[in-house]
C-alpha cells in the first residue's frame, strides 16, 4: 500500500492536507493489516502475529523518543546553511527522552486515534483467548503430572489430605476456564477489564505479560521430553550442535570452568542430559587438558561412565595430552593406554584419526613415550588411486606427465601468497569505486564530513549498547543458567563487532533489506571472523604457510617439473610435515538458527543505538534525535516480511556524499595467488576463508554428511577437476574495461547492458493538490516508477561492484577458486566478478598465459566473432569464416574507433565480447606473422542444446541425435527450427479440418515462439509452464489477436510436446522413467539419491519445509528449515530428478574434458556446457571433448542407476514385500530400451560443440 493511500485510509482527505501523523501509527497500521489478513488463517498463524504485534508495541513503549514521520521528512539539497554544525545544537539523547519535544507547525498532536485504541482492544481480547488456550494446555500437563505422581502418593499415608485441596484447586481452575470459554463471555466485562488495565501507564503489557510467560514456561518445561523421544529429529541435532558450539566458544576463550559449568547445566538434569554426546564431554576435557588439570579430566571420564557413554579416541587424546603437559607418572599413562586398548582402540589411531590444534599432537606423543620410549608416529597411509574406468589413463603412473608450469618464479608466487594472506587476515577489502573519477562537489565534501562525524558518534553509541547488552547477559548467567548468546559476543574485541555492524549499515540500500537476510549476513560475518581467529590460534595458518611455500615448487617455472597432481603433491607435503596442528579444524560449524539469533541480536542493537538529529538537513526544525533505521512490514505474495529501511535523511546524506570506497569480504575478491588445492570436502580454495566444497541451502546438512561418508578416493576425480579449473590464471583486458567504465560514468547504456544511474529513472507523475482526485492509473504509474527505480538501483550496484573489482585487479594476475552445487556443476567462489557473468564481465577477462595463434588460430578467432554476433547460426564454419573475411573492414573499424566509428559491434548478440574479439583480430592480423602472435584471448565452443544431446545419447535415439548434432552433417542442425516445422505441419492438418485456433495461428508459428519451451522441456518444464512461455512469446507479436492468447498458447504447447515426443521418442521414455521412479521413491518416504559416473554422491534436497519461529524482541522470524528428517516433497523430487540427473551428466562430461585437457597441457575453463581455451588449442579441445562424451555414454549409465537404486531402496532377501516396494522394484527394473544410434559417430560431428 502506497504512503498516500495509507494516509488517506487512516485520516481521510481533509487531514491529509494539514498535519502529519506519527510514524508509530504507520508502523502499527502495517501490522494491523497483517492481523486482518491473518484472521482468516489458522490459529497458530494468528498467535504468531500477536507475538509480532506485542513485540512491536513493547519496543515502541520502551522508547519514548518521538518516532519519525517519514512522509514529512525535509529532503532539501545540502546548502551552506544546512551544515552549520547542527550536532552542537542538538539536545543530548537523555534530555530528549525525558521531556516531550515541542511540536512543529505542521505536526498533529501525538494522540492515538480511535482505530489505534480499537487495535489495542482487539489485541487485548486476542491475548485473553491465547491465555485461555495456554492455561488449558497447562492444566492438561498438570493432570498428566498428577496421573504419573499417583503411585507415589499411595505409598505415603500423609498425602491423603491433599486430594481435597487439589480438587478445590481443580474446581477453581475449571471455573476460571469456564468464564473464559463461555461464548457469552460478556463483552462488557472484557471492556471493563480493558479500561481497568489501561489505567496505568504501561497498560496490558506490564500487568499481563508475566502471567502469560509463566503459563508458557509451564508448557515449555515439557519440551526436552518431546524432543528427546526422537534422537534423529532435526530439532534434537540442532540442540546438540548448539551445545557443542557453545562449549567450543568456552574452549576458544580458555575458560574451562565456564565450559564445565555449562556442561553441568545439562548433565545434572536427567532429561536434558540426553542431549549431550561424547563430543560435548570431549570439548570440556580439551579445555582442562590445556590447563594440565588431570583430576578434572578424570571426573569427566566418571561422568561419561555414569550416563552410559563410552569414551572416544578424542577423550583419550585429551587425557594423554594433559599427561604429556604434566609429565605424569608412568603408571598413570600406562593405565590410560590400557583402558584405551580395552575400549577397542589402538595407539596409532590417535595420530591417524584425531585432529589436533596447537601443540596437542606433540604432548600426546610425549605422554606415550613415557611408557613406550621408542614409539614413532605411524607412517602416513599409502595414497589410493581412483579405479574409475573413465580415468584409468589419467591416473596411470606410466602415462603421467609433468604438471604444467605457471609463468612465475617461486619468489613471485611467495610474494603473491603473502598479499593474499594479508587480505584474508583483514577479512575485508576496501577498494576505490569506478565512479571515483567524477569531480568532487562542495556539497559532497560537506556531506562526507557530516557522515564521518555521524559515524564516529554511531560507533560510540553501538559500542555502548553492545557493552550494556553483554553486561546484562553476564548478570543473567549467574542467576538462571546462561544466555545462549553471551559466549558468542565474547569471541572478539567489542570493536570488531561494532565494525561489522557499521559495515552492514553502510551497505544498506535506500529500499531497505529483509530482516532475515541482514540477520544471516551479520551472523555469518561473526562466524567467519571466529574461524579466522581459530585458525590463527590453533597455529593451523602457520602449517598452511609452510606447506604452501613448498607446494608452489610444483607450479613455479624455475623449479624442476614434477609428475604430481596439485592434490597429490599437497597431500605428500602434509604427510612429510608430520608434527604440528591438523590442517582440518574439528567441526565447529554453528547451527543456522544460532547464526540467525545472533544476527537478530546484533540488528536489534543497531536499530536501537543508531540515531540522527532530525534537524540535520533543515536547521529550522526542532533539534531531537530520531532513529536512522526503522522496522516495517511488507508483503511478498501472501507472506508478511519484516524489513529494515534507512531513514530518508540518512539516504539523502549518503547520496550527497557520493562516497567512492566500496568494502567487500575478502572472499568476494579473486585470489592473488593460486588457490589451495581441494584435498577433502573440508579443505581447499582460500587460505583462511571457510569454503564448502558443495554449495547448499542454509540449514541443509545432508550433502555434507554424504560427502563425509564417501570413501575419499571416490572424490579424487571431482577434487582434481575443481583444482584444474581453479589453477587457470586470469588478467584484465584493460582497453575494453576503460571503454566500459567511460560509458558507465556517462549515464550508462541499456542497449549495451550498462545500467544507467538512478538519476535517469523515470520521474513519478506530479501528485495533484487534492490527493482524493489521484486516480487509479496515476497510482499504478507511481507504483511502476518505484519498481523501475528499485530495479535500476539493483542493476547499477551490481555493475558497479563488478567493474570496481575488475578495476582493482586491472594490473594483477588473479585466480578463481571453484566449488560446486549438489549436482556437481562447478562455479567460481568469488560471487560478483567471474567468467560466469554476463557479456560485460566476460569481455574484460583474458587468460594470463599467452600462446601463439598457430596456423589456424586466427581463423578460430574470426569464427568465434561470428558466433558471438548470432548472425550465421545455420551456416557451416567455412561460410562463417568467409563472412568474417568479407566484413573485415567493419571489424577493424570497430577495433580502432569503438565509440566514434560505424559501431558495427554494437548490433551483435554479445556486443562487448564481439568488440574484444575485433580488437584481438585487428592486433593479430596486423602483426608481422599472425601465426606467431601471442594471444591471451579465450575462444568458446558451445554445446548444441546440451541437455537433449545427453538424452539422445542415453537413449541412442537416431532422429534425436541428428537434431542435436550428434551425427556428422555439412551444416549445423537446428532443433528449434525442426520442432517449429513439425508443429507447423500439425497446425496445417488441424486448419484443414476446420480447427479455429489452428487457422488463427497461420503465419505465427516460428522458431522464436517455440525455442524457450523446447530448450526447457529437457529440464522438466510442465505444460503449464510451457503455456506461459508461449503466451509471452505471442504477446511480443503485435499483429497477433490478443483475445486468442490463452487458447493459442494452450494449443501450441500441446503441439510442441507432441512434436518433441515424435522427434525424441527415447528422450520422453527416459524422462518418464526417471520421473516415475522418483515419484515412487519419494512416496516411500525417501529422497532420491544417485552417484555420478565419476563417483560423486548426490542427494536431492527437497523436503516439506517446516518453519521454525525465532522469538526476537523486534519481531518473530519464521525461518524455513529443510533437512533429512522431514518427509520428502514428492512433487519437487519427481519433477527435479530428470533435469538434475542430466545436469550431473553434463558436469561429469565437463570434468572429464578438464582432466584430459590437463594431461595434454591445455588451458581449459568452462561455463557449464560452454568450453573455453586458447585459439591454438581449439581443435585439440574439440577432439578431447568428443572422446570423453563417447567414453561417458559408453558406460551403462541407466543400467547402473537402476542397480544402484534397487540396492538402495528395495532391500533384498525379503519374502513378503509391501505393495509399494514391489511396484518400485518393477519400475526401477524396467529400464527404457535404447535405439540404434552409433555413438562413435559423435567423433566426426563438427557441430556437436562449435
Task: Supply 586's cell numbers.
Answer: 574439528
Count of positions (residues) in the chain: 1250
Q: What's the CA gap between 245 and 569, in Å, rounded?
A: 33
942 catalytic, yes or no? yes
Contacts by residues 1203-1212 (CB-CB < 8 Å, ≥ 24 positions apart)? 1204/1090, 1204/1091, 1205/1077, 1205/1081, 1205/1090, 1208/1089, 1209/1081, 1209/1084, 1209/1086
- CA atoms of 62 and 1129, how far apart (whole Å): 44
Q: Rg of the Cα trace of the chain?
A: 34
Closest by CA to 320, choosing from 285, 368, 287, 353, is: 368
What is the residue whose three cell numbers read 568450453? Answer: 1171
Helix, strand or coil for residue 674?
A: coil
Residue located via cell numbers 529483509: 514
Is 1009 in a helix, a strand, or coil? helix
**Element containing residue 1172 per DSSP (H, E):** strand 1170-1174
Of 525, 611, 1011, 1079, the catalytic one is: 1011
Residue 944 makes CB contacts below 8 A (sequence gap 6+) with 964, 965, 972, 973, 975, 1247, 1248, 1249, 1250
**Dist. CA 425–CA 686, nearest whole Å:** 11
Distance CA 666, CA 727 (A): 19
Cell of 609: 543505538
Report which DSSP code applies to 110.
Answer: -
In our burial notation (b when 16+ CB lie closer than 10 A, e otherwise), range 1149-1158 reads bbbbbbbbbb
| Cα–Cα separations (whole angstroms), residue 779 to 4, 594, 766, 782, 790 | 9, 42, 11, 5, 17
List the grid coordinates of 469.
Answer: 547488552
CB 33 within 8 A of CB 635: no
Q: If we measure between CA atoms, which residue out of 464, 440, 444, 442 comes closest to residue 452?
A: 444
- Cell (9 digits) for 1205: 537404486
* 690 a catalytic residue: no
Which residues are bridge partners to 634 per DSSP?
641
Which residues, 6+ apart, have CB-to-CB distance to 246 below 8 Å? 262, 482, 484, 487, 488
Tell me which residue of 283, 357, 358, 366 sits closest to 328, measured CA to CA: 366
Q: Per-residue DSSP letters for 925-981?
A: HHSS-GGG-EE--EEEEEBSSHHHHHHHHHTT-HHHHHHTT-S--SS---HHHHHHH
The secondary structure of the chain in percent helix, strand, coil, rounded to multiples of 5, reads 60, 10, 30
Q: Annotated catalytic, 1169?
A: yes
- Closest of 536, 468, 474 to residue 255, by C-alpha: 474
Under 8 Å between Cβ of 420 and 671: yes
Give CA torsion, residues 652, 655, 656, 661, to 10 deg.
140
Write out the DSSP string of 1115-1126.
Answer: --EEEEE--TTS
Q: Which of 587, 798, 821, 942 is catalytic?
A: 942
**Residue of 314, 893, 1146, 1169 with catalytic role:** 1169
Strand order from edge to edge, sheet including 1170-1174: 938-942, 1170-1174, 1165-1167
Residues with catalytic function:
942, 1011, 1169
Amino acid at each position: 500500500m502506497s504512503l498516500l493511500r495509507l494516509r488517506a485510509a487512516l485520516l481521510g482527505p481533509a487531514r491529509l492536507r494539514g498535519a502529519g501523523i506519527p510514524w508509530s501509527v504507520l508502523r502499527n497500521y502495517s501490522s494491523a493489516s497483517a492481523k486482518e489478513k491473518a484472521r482468516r488463517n489458522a490459529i497458530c498463524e494468528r498467535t504468531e502475529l500477536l507475538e509480532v504485534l506485542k513485540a512491536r508495541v513493547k519496543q515502541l513503549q520502551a522508547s519514548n523518543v518521538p518516532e519519525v514521520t517519514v512522509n514529512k521528512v525535509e529532503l532539501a539539497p545540502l546548502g551552506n546553511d544546512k551544515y552549520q554544525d547542527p550536532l552542537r545544537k542538538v539536545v543530548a539523547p537523555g534530555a530528549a527522552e525525558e521531556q516531550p519535544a515541542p511540536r512543529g507547525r505542521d505536526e498533529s498532536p501525538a494522540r492515538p486515534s480511535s482505530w489505534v485504541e480499537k487495535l489495542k482492544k482487539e489485541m487485548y481480547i486476542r491475548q485473553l483467548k491465547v491465555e485461555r488456550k495456554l492455561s488449558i494446555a497447562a492444566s492438561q500437563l498438570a493432570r498428566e503430572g498428577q496421573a504419573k505422581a499417583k503411585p507415589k502418593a499411595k505409598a505415603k499415608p500423609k498425602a491423603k489430605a491433599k486430594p481435597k485441596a487439589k480438587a478445590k484447586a481443580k474446581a477453581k481452575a475449571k471455573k476460571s476456564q469456564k468464564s473464559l470459554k463461555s461464548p457469552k463471555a460478556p463483552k462488557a466485562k472484557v471492556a471493563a477489564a480493558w479500561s481497568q488495565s489501561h489505567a496505568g501507564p504501561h497498560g496490558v503489557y506490564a500487568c499481563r505479560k508475566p502471567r502469560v510467560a509463566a503459563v508458557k514456561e509451564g508448557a515449555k518445561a515439557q519440551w526436552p521430553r518431546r524432543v528427546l523421544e526422537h534422537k534423529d529429529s532435526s530439532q534434537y541435532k540442532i540442540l546438540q550442535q548448539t551445545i557443542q558450539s557453545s562449549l567450543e566458544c568456552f574452549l576458544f576463550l580458555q575458560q574451562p570452568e565456564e565450559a564445565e559449568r555449562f556442561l553441568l547445566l545439562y548433565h545434572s538434569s536427567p532429561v536434558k542430559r540426553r542431549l549431550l554426546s561424547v563430543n560435548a564431554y570431549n570439548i570440556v576435557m580439551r579445555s582442562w587438558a590445556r590447563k594440565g588439570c588431570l583430576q578434572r579430566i578424570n571426573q569427566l571420564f566418571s561422568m561419561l561412565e555414569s550416563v552410559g557413554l563410552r569414551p572416544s579416541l578424542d577423550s583419550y587424546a585429551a587425557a594423554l595430552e594433559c599427561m604429556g603437559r604434566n609429565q605424569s607418572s608412568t603408571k598413570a599413562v600406562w593405565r590410560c593406554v590400557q583402558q584405551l586398548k580395552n575400549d577397542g582402540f589402538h595407539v596409532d589411531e590417535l595420530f591417524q584419526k584425531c585432529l589436533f590444534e596447537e601443540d596437542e599432537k606433540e604432548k600426546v606423543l610425549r605422554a606415550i613415550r613415557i611408557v613406550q620410549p621408542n614409539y614413532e608416529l605411524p607412517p602416513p597411509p599409502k595414497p589410493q588411486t581412483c579405479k574409475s574406468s573413465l580415468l584409468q589413463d589419467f591416473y596411470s603412473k606410466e602415462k603421467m606427465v609433468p604438471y604444467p608450469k605457471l609463468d612465475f618464479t617461486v619468489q613471485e608466487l611467495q610474494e603473491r601468497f603473502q598479499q593474499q594472506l594479508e587480505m584474508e587476515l583483514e577479512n575485508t577489502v576496501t577498494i576505490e569505486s569506478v565512479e571515483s573519477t567524477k569531480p568532487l562537489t562542495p556539497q559532497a565534501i560537506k556531506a562526507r564530513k557530516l557522515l564521518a562525524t555521524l559515524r564516529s558518534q554511531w560507533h560510540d553509541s553501538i559500542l555502548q549498547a553492545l557493552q550494556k547488552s553483554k553486561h546484562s547477559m553476564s548478570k543473567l548467567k549467574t542467576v538462571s543458567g546462561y544466555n545462549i548468546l553471551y559466549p558468542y559476543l565474547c569471541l572478539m574485541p567489542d570493536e570488531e563487532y561494532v565494525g561489522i555492524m557499521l559495515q552492514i549499515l553502510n551497505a544498506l540500500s535506500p529500499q531497505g533489506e529483509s530482516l532475515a537476510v541482514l540477520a544471516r549476513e551479520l551472523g555469518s560475518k561473526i562466524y567467519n571472523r571466529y574461524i579466522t581467529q581459530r585458525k590463527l590460534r590453533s597455529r593451523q595458518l602457520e602449517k598452511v604457510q609452510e606447506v604452501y611455500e613448498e607446494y608452489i615448487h610444483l607450479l613455479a617455472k624455475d623449479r624442476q617439473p614434477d609428475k604430481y597432481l596439485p592434490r597429490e603433491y599437497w597431500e605428500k607435503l602434509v604427510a612429510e610435515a608430520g608434527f604440528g596442528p591438523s590442517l582440518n579444524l574439528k567441526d565447529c560449524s554453528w547451527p543456522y538458527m544460532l547464526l540467525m539469533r545472533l544476527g537478530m541480536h546484533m540488528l536489534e542493537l543497531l536499530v536501537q543505538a543508531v540515531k540522527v538529529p532530525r534537524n540535520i538537513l533543515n536547521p529550522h526544525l526542532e533539534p531531537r534525535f530520531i532513529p536512522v533505521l526503522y522496522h516495517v512490514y511488507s508483503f511478498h505474495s501472501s507472506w508478511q516480511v519484516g524489513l529494515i529501511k534507512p531513514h530518508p535523511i540518512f539516504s539523502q546524506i549518503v547520496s550527497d556524499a557520493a562516497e567512492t570506497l566500496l568494502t567487500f569480504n575478502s572472499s568476494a575478491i579473486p585470489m592473488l595467488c593460486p588457490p589451495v588445492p581441494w584435498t577433502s570436502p573440508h579443505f581447499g580454495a582460500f587460505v583462511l576463508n571457510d569454503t564448502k566444497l558443495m554449495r547448499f541451502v542454509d540449514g541443509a546438512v545432508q550433502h555434507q554428511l554424504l560427502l563425509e561418508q564417501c570413501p575419499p578416493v571416490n572424490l579424487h576425480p571431482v577434487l582434481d577437476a575443481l583444482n584444474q579449473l581453479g589453477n587457470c590464471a586470469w588478467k584484465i583486458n584493460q582497453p575494453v574495461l576503460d571503454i566500459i567504465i567511460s560509458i558507465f560514468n556517462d549515464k550508462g547504456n541499456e542497449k549495451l547492458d550498462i545500467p544507467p544511474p538512478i538519476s535517469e529513472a523515470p520521474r513519478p507523475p506530479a501528485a495533484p493538490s487534492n490527493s482524493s482526485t489521484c486516480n487509479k492509473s496515476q497510482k499504478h504509474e507511481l507504483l511502476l516508477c518505484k519498481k523501475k527505480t528499485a530495479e535500476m538501483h539493483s542493476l547499477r550496484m551490481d555493475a558497479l561492484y563488478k567493474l570496481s573489482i575488475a578495476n582493482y585487479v586491472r594490473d594483477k594476475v588473479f585466480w578463481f577458486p571453484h566449488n560446486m552445487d549438489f549436482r556437481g556443476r562447478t562455479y567460481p567462489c568469488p560471487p560478483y566478478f567471474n567468467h560466469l557473468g554476463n557479456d560485460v564481465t566476460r569481455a574484460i577477462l583474458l587468460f594470463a598465459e599467452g600462446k601463439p595463434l598457430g596456423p589456424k588460430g586466427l581463423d578460430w578467432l574470426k569464427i568465434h566473432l561470428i558466433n558471438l554476433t548470432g548472425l550465421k547460426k545455420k551456416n557451416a564454419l567455412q561460410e562463417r569464416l568467409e563472412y568474417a573475411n568479407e566484413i573485415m573492414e567493419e571489424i577493424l573499424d570497430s577495433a580502432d574507433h569503438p565509440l566514434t566509428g560505424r559501431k558495427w559491434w554494437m548490433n551483435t548478440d554479445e556486443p562487448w565480447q564481439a568488440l574484444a574479439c575485433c580488437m584481438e583480430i585487428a592486433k593479430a592480423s596486423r602483426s608481422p606473422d599472425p601465426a606467431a602472435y601471442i594471444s591471451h584471448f579465450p575462444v568458446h565452443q558451445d554445446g548444441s542444446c546440451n541437455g537433449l544431446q545427453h538424452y539422445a545419447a542415453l537413449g541412442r535415439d537416431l532422429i534425436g541425435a541428428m537434431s542435436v548434432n550428434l551425427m556428422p552433417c555439412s551444416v549445423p542442425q537446428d532443433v528449434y527450427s525442426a520442432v517449429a516445422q513439425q508443429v507447423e505441419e500439425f497446425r496445417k492438418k488441424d486448419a484443414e479440418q476446420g480447427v479455429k485456433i489452428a487457422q488463427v495461428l497461420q503465419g505465427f508459428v516460428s522458431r522464436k515462439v517455440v525455442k524457450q519451451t523446447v530448450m526447457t522441456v529437457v529440464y522438466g518444464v510442465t505444460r503449464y509452464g510451457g503455456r506461459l512461455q508461449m503466451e509471452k512469446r505471442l504477446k511480443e507479436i503485435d499483429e497477433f489477436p490478443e483475445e486468442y492468447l490463452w487458447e493459442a498458447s494452450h494449443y501450441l504447447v500441446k503441439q510442441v510436446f507432441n512434436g518433441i515426443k515424435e522427434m525424441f521418442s527415447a528422450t520422453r521414455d527416459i524422462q518418464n522413467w526417471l520421473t516415475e521412479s522418483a515419484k515412487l521413491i519419494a512416496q516411500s518416504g525417501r529422497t532420491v539419491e544417485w552417484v555420478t559416473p565419476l563417483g560423486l554422491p548426490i542427494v536431492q534436497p527437497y523436503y516439506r519445509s517446516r518453519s521454525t519461529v525465532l522469538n526476537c524482541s523486534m519481531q518473530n522470524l519464521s525461518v524455513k528449515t529443510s533437512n533429512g528428517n522431514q518427509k520428502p516433497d514428492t512433487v519437487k523430487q519427481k519433477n527435479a530428478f530428470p533435469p538434475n540427473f542430466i545436469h550431473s551428466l553434463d558436469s561429469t562430461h565437463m570434468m572429464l574434458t578438464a582432466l584430459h585437457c590437463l594431461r595434454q597441457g591445455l588451458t581449459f575453463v568452462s561455463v557449464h556446457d560452454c568450453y573455453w581455451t586458447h585459439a591454438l588449442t581449439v581443435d585439440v579441445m574439440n577432439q578431447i571433448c568428443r572422446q570423453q562424451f563417447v567414453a561417458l555414454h559408453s558406460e551403462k549409465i541407466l543400467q547402473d542407476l537402476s542397480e544402484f537404486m534397487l540396492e538402495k531402496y528395495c532391500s533384498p532377501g525379503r519374502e513378503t514385500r509391501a505393495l509399494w516396494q514391489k511396484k518400485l522394484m518393477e519400475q526401477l527394473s524396467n529400464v527404457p530400451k535404447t535405439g540404434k544410434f552409433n555413438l562413435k559417430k559423435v567423433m566426426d560431428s563438427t557441430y556437436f560443440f562449435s
